[in-house]
Structure 1
Amino acid sequence: MQIRKKSMIAVMTIITLFISNVSVQAEEDLSQQEKYQERLQLYKKMEAVTHVPWYWLAGADAYERGIRNARKDRDAAEGLISIYFSPKEWAGPLNPNLTSDNPSVISIFGGVGLDGNGDGKASIHNDEDVLFTFANYLGRFGHDDENVKIGLWEYYHRDQAVNIINGHARIFKKYGRIDLESEHAFPVPLQYNYSYNNTWGDRRGWGGRRIHEGTDIFADYRTPVRATSYGIVELKGWNKYGGWRVGIRDLSNTYHYYAHLSSFEEDLDVGNIVAPGEVIGYVGSSGYGKPGTEGKFPPHLHYGLYRDNGYSEWSYDPYPSLKSWERKEKAKS
């Protein structure tokens, strides 16, 4: 009898492992478009349960996906949802078993983890549980946009996090879909004359010793400059180094910097939502002096990329991205 019992346990273990592996394989086999669809379904399901608008959940999830990609101390998300809880946060700081998925035990030890799919478990590895836990927290502050922002600030304690998530949410709400992150455009129309090389990291001397944090795309005066991604205009105006410049934050939290413009596109303003290929300004030679300074160098677009990791931002080489976007756009034409 004891042997039979052990055999049954062994069989059940094998079945459980098999089902788990099939689930993981199924997750891996999903196309990118299917992943977007399933994420959107999860956001809308949690909106129905918690009344927190789906686009806020999508915005926070996109923000955290960008954070995971920018930091080495966080692994890639196991499932579709990237919102992060540490084991101590989830199970409770004094919980002797940080892998516990028992909602009652988690609650006793002050953990935040909740059961979001009704299976009696609060698993940090389950997308519905994680998203429900996050949405439930935001819902405590209210369900309208202003109260959700308050909840986000209480959660992240960082103004920039709230601003970025707000931008993401606005974009998702406007377009009604989330499969926007992979769409890009080259910053100048391909039919115009332009040239560029990898100049990231080169020395610059004006205004003190510094490195070149971008790629220079040389083109004629008044060549249109286009948004490369969906994003929010975060900055517009004059800088003594960059002249007339625009800063746009995209859905991966990346900041796109366009400098040395001759002018801005009419009606472009801070807070605007832009789409890939939308004209935001025109090539010039502004900068290296007080407002209005022009002509200290040949006309070109300085294009820079800055990654946000949840604490700070740093520049990285935009040249590979530019080559990729240019190649893909040429293939479509």
Structure 2
Amino acid sequence: MRPYFVYFLSVLLLAQIWLAPPASAETGSQPNDMKKTFADRKDLFDKVSALTGIPWYYLAAVDQYERAMGLAKKRPAAGKLVSIHFTELQWVGVLNPDHADTNVASIRLFQGLGRDGSGDGIADRSNDLDVLYSMAELLLQYGTHDEDMRIGLWEYYQNTRSVDRIEQFAKIYARFDTLDLHEHTFVMPLKSEYTYRSTWGASRGWGGYRIHEGTDIFADYGVPVRSATCGVIEEMGWNPYGGWRIGIRDLNSVYHYYAHLSGFNKELKEGDVMKPGQVIGWVGSSGYGKPGTSGKFPPHLHYGLYRDNGLTDWSFDPYPHLKKWEREERRRGKK
């Protein structure tokens, strides 16, 4: 049995959740709408975290991973604050004859994952609070430390890639203590001289026939290269094709690939959390050979985007995104 003061805290927190006004749906139509949605979601994570002891940023990271996978599979969770998804049988229990069961006692009996987080006495798979509380209770079985979280996430997803992504997201959220982290900047300072056009899908011959999986941005040696997004440095070092390159994973599970650099920002290392506009290196012409090879082509940045679908990364055209981020940054600079 819990100590009385813990029980009392739980009752107070549940009362706060039950009596709070309903959160708005995520429309994405206006910046103010998004800011309110981020605040509503953060409040939800904070309350369930205080109730269960699971750090809020892990709950947010699991939710964001599910959100990112929904985007990759073209199944966005429109109108919901929580994107975590349990299947019908996961929720009620595989052997439960009632696949629409909402009774917490019978769901527990059949080892289902559904729990009541909203205080209405039922475990509703369409209720954001019930879903989030159920995930927290699942992870709580393994503990609240980082290694406990990793074990719990592995038991649920059975996929090391999923666990890695969630840990990366949790690291970003813990660093900034907010969900509002989706602003982008252009990959070079707007005041520098550069030029680019759409080159994704063009043929390449060095190292065998292949398509060009990125956009080439031509600029002079030494022009700063900046992180376009919040993210975690996943790879950093030499690649025979890309030369000195760095890869950053963002909160949509998109991998940002920066290649042919002349060098790195020496303050950075793999695992570091980045913010938009932070300098990661400088334009060069490295690559197409053994470490240190340079000058086989004009100086430029090769910038690629790869979306994670849960099993692998696949390339998509970065050009429209670069143009969009360039316009957005120019507008911000005029305010």
Paired residue secondary structure (2:25): helix
Q: Post-superposition shift, 1:156? A: 1.5
* 1:66–1:290 distance in 2 versus 1, CA, 3 Å: same
Query: Match for 2:142: what amino acid?
Result: F
Whether the 8 Å contact between 1:51 and 1:143 is mirrored in structure 2 is yes
Whether the 8 Å contact between 2:116 and 2:130 is mirrored in structure 1 is yes
| Partners of 1:135 and 1:41 in 2: CA distance | 15
TM-score w.r.t. length of structure 2: 0.88
| Partners of 1:113 and 1:77 in 2: CA distance | 22
2:228 — aligned with what? 228
| Partners of 1:242 and 1:224 in 2: CA distance | 17
One of 38, 61, 64 as aligned partner of 2:63: 61
Residue 86 (str. 1) matches residue 84 (str. 2): no
2:12 — aligned with what? none
Q: Post-superposition shift, 1:93? A: 2.4
| Partners of 2:258 and 2:305 in 1: CA distance | 9
* 1:32–1:291 distance in 2 versus 1, CA, 3 Å: same
Whether the 8 Å contact between 1:63 and 1:253 is mirrored in structure 2 is yes
Residue 142 (str. 1) matches residue 143 (str. 2): yes
More deviation in 219-228 or 160-169?
160-169
| 1:149-298 paired onto structure 2 within 5 Å | 149-181=150-182, 183-298=183-298
Whether the 8 Å contact between 1:185 and 1:229 is mirrored in structure 2 is yes
Q: Post-superposition shift, 1:152? A: 1.3
| Partners of 1:314 and 1:298 in 2: CA distance | 27
Whether the 8 Å contact between 1:79 and 1:125 is mirrored in structure 2 is no
Q: Post-superposition shift, 1:206? A: 0.7
Q: Per-residue displacement from partner, 1:121-162 (whole Å, max 9, x unpaired)? A: 101111110001101111111112221122112221222222
Paired residue secondary structure (1:262): strand
1:11 — aligned with what? none
Paired residue secondary structure (2:35): helix
Whether the 8 Å contact between 2:257 and 2:303 is mirrored in structure 1 is yes
Whether the 8 Å contact between 1:59 and 1:169 is mirrored in structure 2 is yes
1:32 — aligned with what? 34
Paired residue secondary structure (2:247): strand
Q: Per-residue displacement from partner, 1:216-256 (whole Å, max 9, x unpaired)? A: 00000010000000010010000000000000001111110
1:312 — aligned with what? 312
| Partners of 1:78 and 1:149 in 2: CA distance | 29
Paired residue secondary structure (1:31): helix
Query: Match for 2:227: what amino acid?
Result: A
Q: Post-superposition shift, 1:28? A: 5.8
Whether the 8 Å contact between 1:200 and 1:213 is mirrored in structure 2 is yes
Whether the 8 Å contact between 1:260 and 1:300 is mirrored in structure 2 is yes
1:95 — aligned with what? 96
| Partners of 2:35 and 2:46 in 1: CA distance | 17
Q: What is the count of residue pairs matched by the alignment?
A: 309
| Partners of 1:213 and 1:44 in 2: CA distance | 40
1:7 — aligned with what? none
* 1:276–1:212 distance in 2 versus 1, CA, 3 Å: same
TM-score w.r.t. length of structure 1: 0.89
| Partners of 1:151 and 1:107 in 2: CA distance | 18
Whether the 8 Å contact between 1:78 and 1:125 is mirrored in structure 2 is no
Paired residue secondary structure (2:188): coil
Query: Match for 2:59: what amino acid?
Result: L
2:52 — aligned with what? 50
| Partners of 1:142 and 1:301 in 2: CA distance | 44
Query: Match for 2:164: what amino acid?
Result: N
2:134 — aligned with what? 133
* 1:272–1:75 distance in 2 versus 1, CA, 3 Å: closer
Q: Post-superposition shift, 1:61? A: 1.0
More deviation in 110-119 or 26-35?
26-35
Gap runs ≥5 in structure 1: 1-22
